[in-house]
Structure 1
């Protein structure tokens, strides 16, 4: 472990990735979203695709763990199980796709998906129809596939699951639990398939510190009366991170 930590700290470009983790934490702290949308485009400039999503999973299981008891207590267990069932089915397929894409294609995909998600968030577009149990399975499957292929398991759930008849408290609880269990499943599937990279995992654990510090700062900065301002700042930062990840712009050197 000490050797892995030494190698992790020696990673070229780690300072930029750590800064991205911190900024992502700040945005998450005062807006409630944005970790992957900010972190992935920057990290993909420094690490291979698989390392990028594994480090994100490792980074993102630390802070949310403290919220899990409340999330499980306030959430909707049946819908959560349906979501995770869909993830189990299609996460391996997404990982299979990930292992066969060129790193530049991965960077394009992450950046373009991030920009697409940003457009949807800014426009306020939401699915307005009824969400049935089979659809929840499908939403979970879409999240599993996108999570495995591009490290973005959240958009399908965030955009469509909010159309459910559940209260905002239940939706937030289930979303929190879904993302937490997705990270655990990703790590487990990589272990089973032999794709687990210990160094990438240790890098993610190290990045949990700036991410947690950012979360705490973002939470301290939040004031309900300025929510629109915070979301505006979050959108600008997400756009900047997504554009920086486009290979033809070569912001990463």
Structure 2
């Protein structure tokens, strides 16, 4: 039985539950929605559908937080965001040309890499150099297109430094919002962006709003150790679950 635009009840129910949980993590940690949600959506949808839906959701919620981005984001976030704009389309083209099973496997590996990167030692607060910043931006754009996950290069760039948590969160979410816009434009350009994806994203958006709001309430109320541990365990669980399902 089809619920909306060709998607069945089971697909939508799984997507709503996964969206709520991943949005809660986003609100608490400042990242993680795409890393958690794309591997789960890609188990029932095609990988490119999963990537484009998460881009819709990230853009919707990001536009509601522009005031916070402008007030707290680090200058480097705008530089990385600009690089994401030019490197997203090649990643999406590569995804469209990759067999779905292989794409699902690679997306799960990207999620697992985020878990590994978050375990790296915390560095000093000063911004990395131009080469590191440029590499983070280009890699983030490629992963936005291929996996809907701009986070793996960006998270260690900010969370891995001793900077204010509010600054890290605003900087990451600004980049993710720009990446979502770039992903949707690229999807339209290559003919993969359909109305049914937009309709499903609208259906899922209330779960994003609720989960993100609850996560934001918890933001700042836990210690850094608990915060990092929560994020690491959640990322690991999502990646391992996706790999086990595939294998």
TM-score normalised to the size of structure 2? 0.84
Whether contact under 8 Å (1:126, 1:163) holds in the other structure is yes
Listed as ranges, the matches of 1:1-253 within 5 Å are: 6-7=4-5, 10=8, 12-77=10-75, 79-124=76-121, 131-161=128-158, 169-221=166-218, 224-225=221-222, 228-246=225-243, 249-250=245-246
> 3-state DSSP class of the match of 1:136?
helix
Give the drift of 1:35: 0.9
Quote how far apart the aligned CAs of 1:204 are.
1.8
Alignment partner of 1:131: what SS?
coil
Change in CA separation of 1:105 and 1:128 when aligned onto 2, cut-off 3 Å: farther
Q: 1:127 to 1:138 in 2, by over 3 A?
A: farther
Counterpart-to-counterpart distance in 1, 2:178 and 2:167 = 16
- Deviation at residue 128 of structure 1 after TM alignment: 9.0
**Closer/same/farther in 2, CA of residues 174 and 233 from structure 1, 3 Å limit:** closer
The TM-score with structure 1 as length reference comes to 0.82
Question: Considering only aligned residues, what root-mean-square deviation do their CA atoms show, in Å?
Answer: 3.0
In the TM superposition, what is the alpha-carbon distance from 1:64 to its structure 2 partner? 2.6
For 1:236 and 1:71, the matched residues in 2 are separated by: 27
Aligned partners of 1:216, 1:81: CA distance in 2, in Å?
25
Q: Tell me how far apart the structure 1 counterparts of residues 123 and 166 of structure 2 sit (CA, whole Å).
A: 18
Q: Render the CA deviation track for 1:178-236: whole Å, top value 9, x for unaligned.
A: 11111112112222332212212221222111122112223334562455445434433
Q: Hey, what's the Cα distance between the residues in 2 that align with 1:72 and 1:129?
A: 20
Closer, same or farther: CA 65–102 of 1 in aligned 2, 3 Å? same
Alpha-carbon distance, 1:9 to partner: 5.6
Judge conservation of contact 1:51–1:197 (CA < 8 Å) in 2: no
Is the Cα contact below 8 Å between 1:94 and 1:149 reproduced in 2? yes
Q: After TM superposition, give the deviation of residue 126 of structure 1 in Å.
A: 5.7
List gaps (5 residues or longer) in structure 2. none
The residue matched to 2:34 in structure 1 has which SS?
helix
Is the contact made by 2:151 and 2:176 (CA closer than 8 Å) also made in structure 1?
Answer: yes
Q: For this pair of structures, how many residues does the alignment match?
A: 246
